[in-house]
Amino acid sequence: MTTTHNLGFPRLGLRREMKKAVEAYWQGTINADQLARTGRDLRRHHWEIQQQAGIDWIPVGDFSWYDHVLDTSCLLGCVPERFAHPGGAVALDTYFRMARGRAPSGQPRPACEMTKWFDTNYHYLVPEPTPDQAFSLSSEKLFEEFAEAREILGDKAKPVLLGPLSWLWLGKCHAESFDKLTLLPRLLPVYGEILQRLKDQGAQWIQIDEPILALDLPPSWLTAFEQSYHQLQIKGLNLLLAVYFGPLAGNLKTACSLPVAGLHVDAVRAPEELSRVADWLPAHKVLSVGIVDGRNVWRSDLDEALEALASLHDRRELWLAPSCSLLHTPVDLDAETGIDAELKTWLAFAVQKLEELTLLKQALDHGPEIVADPLEASRRAIASRRASKRVTDPAVRRRQAEITPAAERRANPYPVRREAQRAKLDLPLLPTTTIGSFPQTPEIRARRRDFKQGEISADDYTAFLKKQIAFCVQKQEAYGLDVLAHGEPERNDMVEYFGEQLEGFAFTRNGWVQSYGSRCVKPPIIYGDVSRPRPMTVDWIRYAQSLTPKPMKGMLTGPVTMLQWSFVRDDLPRRDTCLQIALSLRDEVADLEAAGIGVIQIDEPALREGLPLRRKDWPAYLDWSVGCFRIASSGVRDETQIHTHMCYAEFNDIIESIAALDADVITIEATRSKMDLLDAFAGFEYPNEIGPGVYDIHSPNVPSAEEMATLLELAAGKIPLERLWVNPDCGLKTRQWPEVDAALGNMVEAARILRRKYS
Ligand code: GLN
Ligand code: ZN
């Protein structure tokens, strides 16, 4: 008999109840009891949904008010000193202060660092163990939720826990050259206690997530896995070790031989490994096959899945699951109203994915005839998607096939272009600019809403936006900036804005996915070949340029970022979709140039986060992603200056690829690291121009001209002056006008201080 289970359910709620409740609590409009009640209701509802979908073992402990890694840190009593945790159970407001720096009670403190969860767009809070960290069971949350769940689900409640090795791996110890593994002997007894308590409460199976087994691990960590799991054995308690997001590869034998009762593997990301796992995993252990894609929104090809499972099913008892937690998918397709009927038949959100698992189980155990009707419906949907004219566009395919290597290269190398650009743009030493967006005021958001709801006409909306652009241009001239931006008032989101104008993209109305804490995103769905029916930005930029003699930057989102922040096709390699977006952007770049725009910025903030989990896969990714950027940007004349922007500070391991983009100017985030990251550029002798940010836009603080001049001096010590630009770290969208007025005025003054000094 086949068993189904789920690894994790979306926490947000269909109407983002979790977000609303937690934000209301932060604002003081509901109290902790009310918050707790919403949590209980949501969890109960989610368990019932999963039960109704026919799932056998249902996860408990996957719910969180902010992040499950933070939950685990609190469970283990790992609270950084600055939060003044007195010991005992971690208070709710301490938890929120760790998450976001402040809470209704307690002193505000710098929040814990937040970073991306593997290669997803979900962010977790980085554990901060110290070398002398003591651990103790410090939260009742998991046990309380398990007790709640047992009332509803009975024995079929399955607690979920982030494993000790993955928790440690994800942590950052601020002491230098400290080996985190030395903490294990202190950590494991607490894990032992947790497991024992859950068993005493009636747990039969516990899912213990060790996603780091999908990474390249040092041998000492693999050894630590063996030792740890030997120590965590408890008689009568079954541990299901869950690995997801990629193949086990070199970790396969270790994973299969650990003394646990079952192993979950990601058969979507690593289908080719499934039979090896089945060979190596002892027959008495449960094999959980992650057969339904937990990272994407497509309906499964059930015939294909059944074929992959058939031979395994003959040999051993199988568990079926989504490839990973469903945290990364929207909740329920049935509640979606923004997607047309045809496209909808091609999709599956969390609820539908669970229903697919139940179908697969029935087909395996009783033969496909027993579910003939739903199987047939699924087959029809898959066939309709394959054959659809909306999916494949012969013109796009032809163009893709005809690309020559020349399309990836500017006509001349940077030194030649530089002279042409100098002559054309006539910029001072240390030119000043911004990253693009200016404050998105409540007024702008209100007008956009009015327009979307049909309450104001397109003409009125356009007139309003033009006024905003004119206002931004005036402001920038008054600050004395050298290269201006139009301010992006027409854009709600840097991907959505372009996706809405491209063929092949669709947008949901309710397809929310948690990004971090209460922040949700609605990723676009790329379902077909991408092309650009008409120019997307040219009218706005041309208008902005008409208002000023200074150069106006064209402002585009790069192909890799658009790919990275969308749900992508599973019927076409990512690189091909990326190339299609790049070709669309290439046309936009050409149109901007033809409209007289001399500086064009193509933002790629997501280039780095697209790096594959395994190093061996990096070169291929960097090769196509850099190639796509170059295809988007290389069709211009020498004198047209291409900028790119990236807002992160880790360039060391990809600096060659950054240089290979061959952008004339790159603007990056540098304020917080005090220009340290420029060492990567200096060491590599980065050949083109760089604008290291001197104004940290993530903070409401306004830096003085002197502070920024000091940062510029630091930069000038590393990068030749004539190749330095002066700009903020990122766009100014989230800031207020008074801060921007003061900060940009100071920034221009800082550039002047240095110009006086050096010329
Ligand atoms: N041009 C965009 C802006 O200024 C860039 C945003 C980003 O880097 N994330 O808002
Ligand atoms: Zn940025």
Residue 273 inside a domain? The answer is: yes
Number of domains in the chain: 2
Do residues 545 and 674 share a domain? yes
Q: Which ligand is nearest to the CA of 668?
A: 2
Determine the distance separating the centroid of ligand 2 and the alpha carbon of 254, expressed in angstroms.
Answer: 41
Residues 6 or more apart whose Cβ sits within 8 Å of residue 618: 611, 612
**Same domain, yes or no: 372 and 432:** no
Same domain for 454 and 310, yes or no, is: no
My answer on whether 632 and 721 are in the same domain is yes
**424 lies in the same domain as 336:** no
Please say which residue of 372, 387, 402 terminates a domain. 387
In this structure, which residue's CA is closest to atom 3 in ligand 1? 731
Query: From ligand 1's centre to the CA of 437, what distance in Å?
Result: 6
> Which of residues 339, 361, 387 is at a domain's end?
387
pLDDT band for position 175 (50/70/90)?
Answer: confident
Q: What letter represents residue 107's amino acid?
A: Q
CA of 592 from ligand 1 middle (Å) equals 19
383 and 398 inside one domain: no
Asked if residue 489 has its Cβ within 6 Å of ligand 1, the reply is: no
740 CA from centroid of ligand 2 (Å): 16
- Identified catalytic residue from 174, 230, 366, 698: 698
352, pLDDT greater than 80: yes
- Return the C-alpha torsion angle 583, 584, 589, 594, nearest 10: 110
Instruction: Read off the pLDDT band of 331 (50, 70, 90).
Output: very high
pLDDT over 80 (residue 176) = no
Ligand 1 atom index nearest CA of 646? 8
End residue of a domain, out of 362, 387, 412: 387
Q: Are residues 401 and 317 in the same domain?
A: no
Identify whether 511 is part of a domain. Answer: no
Distances from the Cα of 514 to the Cαs of 505, 568, 604, in angstroms? Answer: 21, 17, 22
Claim to verify: residue 456 and residue 557 sit in the same structural domain: yes
Residue 739's nearest CA partner among 693, 691, 692, 699 is 699
Which of 444, 494, 495 maximizes ligand 1 atoms within 8 Å of its Cβ, making it the mutation to test the pocket? 494
CA-605 nearest atom, ligand 1: 8
Confirm or reject: Cβ of 494 under 6 Å from ligand 1: yes
In this structure, is residue 208 part of a structural domain?
yes
Do both 359 and 407 map to the same domain?
no
Average pLDDT over residues 249-269: 98
What are the CA-CA distances from residue 285 to residues 206, 279, 351, 630, 655 (Å)?
A: 14, 12, 28, 50, 45
Ligand 1 centroid, distance to 485 Cα (angstroms)? 11
For ligand 1, atom 4: residue with the closest CA:
731
User: How many angstroms separate the alpha carbon of residue 605 from the centre of ligand 2?
Assistant: 6
Q: Is 603 in the pocket of ligand 1 (CB under 6 A)?
A: yes
Pair (241, 286) in one structural domain: yes
What is the number of the ligand 1 atom nearest to the C-alpha of 437? 4
Answer yes or no: are the C-beta atoms of 210 and 165 closer than 8 Å: yes
* 199 and 217 both lie in a single domain: yes
Does any domain span residue 497? no
Q: What is the pLDDT of residues 7-27, one digit of tens each?
A: 999 999 999 999 999 999 999
For the CA of 555, the closest atom of ligand 1 is: 1
588 & 479 share domain: yes
In tens, the pLDDT along 681-729 reads 999 999 999 999 999 998 889 999 999 999 999 999 999 999 999 999 9
Instruction: For residue 31, report the phi and psi dihedrals to the nearest 5 degrees.
Output: -100, 180
Domain-located, residue 556: yes
Residue type, 706: E
For ligand 1, whether the C-beta of 647 sits within 6 Å is: yes
pLDDT band at 503 (very low <50, low <70, confident <90, very high): very high
pLDDT tens for 579-591 read: 999 999 999 999 9
What is the DSSP pairing of strand 58-60 with strand 157-162?
A: parallel
pLDDT at residue 680, rounded to an integer: 93
Domain annotation covers residue 586 = yes
**pLDDT computed for residue 759 by the predictor:** 84
Nearest ligand, measured from the Cα of 558: 1
Cβ proximity of 725 and 667 under 8 Å: yes
Q: Domain with 96 in it: what CATH number?
A: 3.20.20.210
Confirm or reject: Cβ of 586 under 6 Å from ligand 1: no
163 belongs to a structural domain: yes
> What mean pLDDT, rounded, does the chain reach?
97
Cβ 438 vs Cβ 449: under 8 Å = no
Query: Catalytic site residue 698?
Result: yes
Q: Is the CB of 645 under 6 A from ligand 1?
A: yes
Q: What is the mean pLDDT of residues 588-611?
A: 97
**Nearest C-alpha to atom 10 of ligand 1 is from which residue?**
731
Residue nearest atom 6 in ligand 1 by C-alpha distance: 731
Place of tokens 């607690």: 159
Find out whether the beta carbon of 436 lies less than 6 Å from any atom of ligand 1: yes
Quote the ligand 1 centre to 603 CA distance (angstroms). 7
Binding site membership of 693 for ligand 1 (Cβ less than 6 Å): no
Amino acid identity for residue 271 in this structure: P
Q: CA-CA distance, 233 to 241, in Å (whole number)?
A: 12
**Residue 36: which domain range?**
3-387
The finding on whether 437 has its CB within 6 A of some atom of ligand 1 is yes
Q: With cut-offs at 50, 70 and 90, classify the pLDDT of residue 174.
A: confident
Is the residue at 173 inside a domain?
yes
Q: Nearest to residue 58, comparing CAs of 72, 67, 48? A: 48
pLDDT value at 340 more than 80: yes
pLDDT of residue 699: 86
